[in-house]
Each structure stands twice: as C-alpha cells, then as structure tokens.
C-alpha cells in the first residue's frame, strides 16, 4: 500500500475504464483525490484509466471482489458508473439490463451498507423522466421511464433512497442529459466504434468513417423540425462528480440533481456547429423518426449550481463538438 493510500481515504469508481468514468478518474487525479476502479472491460478500455489509478479487472456483481477492494483500499465513497447503456438493446434484452444495472447495483449497495461505506455518487439519466409533458424538466418532474434502460436506473435511485432512510447511506444522484465531447487535453474520449450518439456519429461521418449521418426525423414540433437536446460537455460533468463527492465527504445531505446546461440544441444546430468548427461538410441524409425519441429534452439545471457550486467551463456547443472531433481524429480505428 502506498503512503498516500495509507493516509487518505479512497473513492471506488465502478466502470472507470468507460467514457464518463475515465474522465472522472482524470478529474479526481487532477484534484489529488485517491481512487481505485473496478471494470470488467466489457465496453471500457484499459488505456483510458490514468496510470496512477489501480484498475481491478472484474465484475461489480462479484461481492467478494467488492469487499476485498473496499477493505484493501480504505474506500469511504463509491462513484457508480458501471452499467449497460444502449436504449434499443434494453428493449430487446431487458433482463440483461435489469441484471447489470439493477441487480449489480443492489450487490454494490448491499456491500457498501455491510462495510459502512456511506457515500455514493450515482450515474443516473434523463431517461428516468421518459417523455415528459413539460419542458424544461426539473427534478420534481414525475419519473415515468419509457424503456427498460430508464427503468433499470430508476430502480437503483429508489434503492439508494430507501437505503438512505434505513441505513444512513447518503447519495448524490446525477441525472445526466446528453453527454458529449472529450477531455480537452486529449487524454480520453468516447472510444466505442459502434456509437449511436449524435455528436460522435456526426464526427465519424465528417471524417469519412461512416457513409453519412442519418438525421432521424425533420417533422417534430420544434423550430427547425429536428429534436432538441441539452448537450453537456463530459469534462463539466466530471467536475460535477468531484463536487458531489466533496459534498458527501463534508457530511452533505442526499441530493438528486439534473446535469445539463438548461439550454437546447437541435440536430440541425449540432451539424451546423460541427461544420462551423471544422470548415467541412457533414454528409447527412434525412431519415424517418427513430422510435422512442421525445421531441425535446432540456434540463432545469439550477439546482446543481446552487447545491454544489458547479460552474461549467465548456458550455458552448462549438467547444463540445470541437473536442469530440479532435478526439475522433486521434482514434486509429475506423467506424463500422
């Protein structure tokens, strides 16, 4: 055990080899906060994990591995990213989603309670709101998920709330809106080649790594007919996680917080931003609506600023798409 881990408590980051988890590991390392990660590398990559952070290759469904890690590293807090994230896959294979997102979260939470780890930061999603009637969406909006992915995450939120009441576990539940972009220093980014997220797919199309971007639906009730989303830069999201951890370590109360900027961009606006920053055309074709896409998802994002003192640094759409494009160029694998 190193001197540092002997003196300071450590945060266990599940899924730290993945897109968002790896950005958070870099943010923790930059802030001098000791961390350890467990990842089964099902979608994550070993090289996304900063060198200073021990990577334990294993599954969070393995209670004895969790227990060993928590004891050996003097873990006092957990940031829980590990999970399955593809919405259509959750529709075709729901039980796999309930197993990985809900059952494994239960194992993790149960282990935390048994070992007295009382601080949990959880990656939730705007998908818990489903297709709300009113936009923008505040945290009191009813949670009515419309797919198993959203339902599987909402169940973990519920477990955290109940475990808080019964066992004193305090949690910050972060409901991410549309996460995009990459580390401005180029240390990590979204690396899975089978991407479905708009900004990543648009970058791949611009670079000729896929034939074209399909714009799913141009007849929505929005000003330009395409869907509107609240895109948040992954590095700003990573900063929010560090603040959430510090809040809990200070003894702060449990919170549920939207993570977005409170503004929206349409699919056309995203494409225009990418063309503006690159000076190149995004090959795009107009396609029918994708099933299950709500016309607008925009956060009311005041609470996170008030409660955590979060101040975003990368909230211009041009910055988000530029960082995504720089990262995409650095990847050596072609898209499928």
Which residues are known to be catalytic?
149
Query: What residues pair up with 229 in beta bridges, in sequence order?
Result: 265, 297
Q: Which of residues 213-242 bind ligand GDU (CB under 6 A)?
A: 213-216, 227, 229
Q: Which of residues 119-138 bind ligand GDU (CB under 6 A)?
A: 125-127
- In this chain, which of 123, 141, 171, 226 binds ligand NAD, going by CB under 6 A? 123
Q: How many other CB atoms are there within 10 angstroms of residue 332's CB atom?
A: 4
Stretch that binds ligand NAD, among 56-64, 133-141, 199-207, 281-289 (CB under 6 A): 56-64
CB of 174 closer than 8 Å to CB of 149: no
Stretch that binds ligand GDU, among 58-66, 91-99, 209-217, 304-312 (CB under 6 A): 209-217
Would you state the structure tokens that stand for residue 264, as one six-digit string? 């929206």
User: What is the closest distance, in whole angstroms, from the C-beta atom of residue 288 to ligand GDU in the complex?
Assistant: 10
User: What is the closest distance, in whole angstroms, from the C-beta atom of residue 205 to ligand GDU in the complex?
Assistant: 8
* Residue 38 near which of ligand NAD, ligand GDU, none (CB within 5-8 Å, type-dependent): ligand NAD
User: What letters, b where the CB count within 10 A reaches 16 and e where it falls short, cover 248-267?
Assistant: beeeeebbbbbbbbbebbbb
Helix segments in the chain, DSSP class H: 3-7, 19-30, 63-72, 87-92, 94-97, 104-115, 148-167, 198-206, 234-249, 267-278, 302-308, 317-330
Stretch that binds ligand GDU, among 193-201, 251-259, 275-283, 316-324 (CB under 6 A): 193-201
Cα–Cα distance measured from residue 71 to residue 126, given in angstroms and rounded to the nearest whole number? 33
User: Is 17 among the residues that bind ligand NAD (CB under 6 A)?
Assistant: yes
Cα–Cα distance measured from residue 20 to residue 98, given in angstroms and rounded to the nearest whole number? 21
Pick 66 or 240: Cβ nearer ligand GDU: 240
Stretch that binds ligand GDU, among 74-82, 159-167, 190-198, 304-312 (CB under 6 A): 190-198
Rg of the Cα atoms in the chain: 19
- In this chain, which of 27, 75, 85, 205 binds ligand NAD, going by CB under 6 A? 85
Say what angle helices 104-115 and 63-72 make with each other, to 10 degrees: 40
Q: Which residues lie near ligand NAD (CB under 6 A)?
A: 15, 17-21, 38-44, 59-61, 81-83, 85, 100, 104, 123, 125, 176, 179
Q: Which residues lie near ligand GDU (CB under 6 A)?
A: 85, 87, 125-127, 176-178, 196-198, 201, 213-216, 227, 229, 267, 290, 293, 297
């Amino acid at each position: 055990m190193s001197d540092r881990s002997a003196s300071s408590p450590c945060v266990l980051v599940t899924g730290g080899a993945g897109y968002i988890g790896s950005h958070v590991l870099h943010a923790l390392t930059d802030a001098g906060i000791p961390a350890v990660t467990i990842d089964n590398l099902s979608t994550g990559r070993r090289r996304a994990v900063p060198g200073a952070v021990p990577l334990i290759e294993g599954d969070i469904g393995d209670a004895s591995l969790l227990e060993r890690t928590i004891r050996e590293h003097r873990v006092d807090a957990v940031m829980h990213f590990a999970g399955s994230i593809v919405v259509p896959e959750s529709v075709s294979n729901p039980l796999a989603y309930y197993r990985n997102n809900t059952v494994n979260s239960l194992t993790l939470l149960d282990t935390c309670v048994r070992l007295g780890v009382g601080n949990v930061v959880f990656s939730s999603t705007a998908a818990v709101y489903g297709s709300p009637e009113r936009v923008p969406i505040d945290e009191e909006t009813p949670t009515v998920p419309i797919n198993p992915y959203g339902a599987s995450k909402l169940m973990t939120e519920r477990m955290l709330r109940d475990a808080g009441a019964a066992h004193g576990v305090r949690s910050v539940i972060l409901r991410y809106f549309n996460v995009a972009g990459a580390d401005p220093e180029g240390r990590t980014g979204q690396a899975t080649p089978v991407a479905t997220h708009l900004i990543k797919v648009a970058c791949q199309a611009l670079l000729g790594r896929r034939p074209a971007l399909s714009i799913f639906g141009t007849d929505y009730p929005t000003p330009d007919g395409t869907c509107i989303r609240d895109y948040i830069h992954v590095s700003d999201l990573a900063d929010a996680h560090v603040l959430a951890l510090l809040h809990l370590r200070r003894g702060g109360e449990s919170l549920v917080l939207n993570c977005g900027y409170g503004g929206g961009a349409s699919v056309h606006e995203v494409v225009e931003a990418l063309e503006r920053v690159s000076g190149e055309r995004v090959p795009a074709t107009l396609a029918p609506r994708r099933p299950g896409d709500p016309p607008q998802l925009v956060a009311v994002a005041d609470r996170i600023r008030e409660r955590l003192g979060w101040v975003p640094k990368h909230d211009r759409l041009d910055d988000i798409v530029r960082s995504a494009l720089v990262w995409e160029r650095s990847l050596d694998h072609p898209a499928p």
